Amino acid sequence: MFQRVLEVGIACNPTERIVEICAAGGKKVRDDYAHAFSKHFAPDSEPPIEAPRRDVLLDTLRSQPVFSIEPADGIERFEISSLDFFSTGGGFARFEKRGADETTYKFLDRRFGQVSPIKAGAWQIVSATLRIVMAAQNGKRQRTLTVTLRSPITTTIPNKTEADRQLVRSLLERWDLIAPPAPDFELIEDG
């Protein structure tokens, strides 16, 4: 008889009071791990609360986006490097940017014209990858942040450093690629 092995990934940022759990078994299992972690490693702290996920708004990418960039962002340039589509008929297609002189949007228009998945109603954008090229600053060389968004609520933001997470989250909010956070109040209807 073999004993089963269970893998659980826990990442903790004590400064930001963030614990991320990656485990098979669903929300209840992850909540149990979060409470156990809190109980054993931070017994005097308040119990953990779940940070709500936010909807990814991929319809914003139905046409070539013109995203606002401020000098304080430190961004040299950005691009939509891939778009994934799902068809109501069951088809799946991925298009990736290949040439330096052509965007994904220009390729789709040149190759498919009016029947492009970006223009045809039967295709839905289900995933997009953004490449954000950060300008060289403070003696550090240029670097690229790659962010993947998947419908309905998945992003690769948690895989970034805290500073990059804050920057990417603020950019995605400004660019209308993620839904605004839910309000902190409860709605009370007057009878």
**pLDDT tens, residue by residue, 70-85:** 888 899 999 999 999 9
Count of H-run helices and E-run strands, the chain: 3, 7
Question: What count of other Cβ atoms lies within 10 Å of the Cβ of residue 178?
Answer: 22
Q: Residues of the chain whose pLDDT is less than 50? A: none
Report which DSSP code applies to 46: P
Residue 117 confidence (pLDDT): 92
Task: Report yes or no: 22 and 7 within 8 Å, Cβ to Cβ.
Answer: no
How far apart are the C-alpha atoms of 11 and 13, rounded to whole Å? 7
Integer Cα distance of 146 and 81 in angstroms: 9
Q: How many Cα atoms sit within 13 Å of 59 on the Cβ side?
A: 4
Are the CB atoms for 89 and 78 separated by under 8 Å?
no
Cα separation of 3 and 96, whole Å?
A: 44
Kindly report the pTM of this predicted structure: 0.69
Collapsing DSSP to helix, strand or coil, 60 comes out as helix
Predicted confidence (pLDDT) per residue in 111-139, tens digit:
999 999 998 888 999 999 999 999 988 78
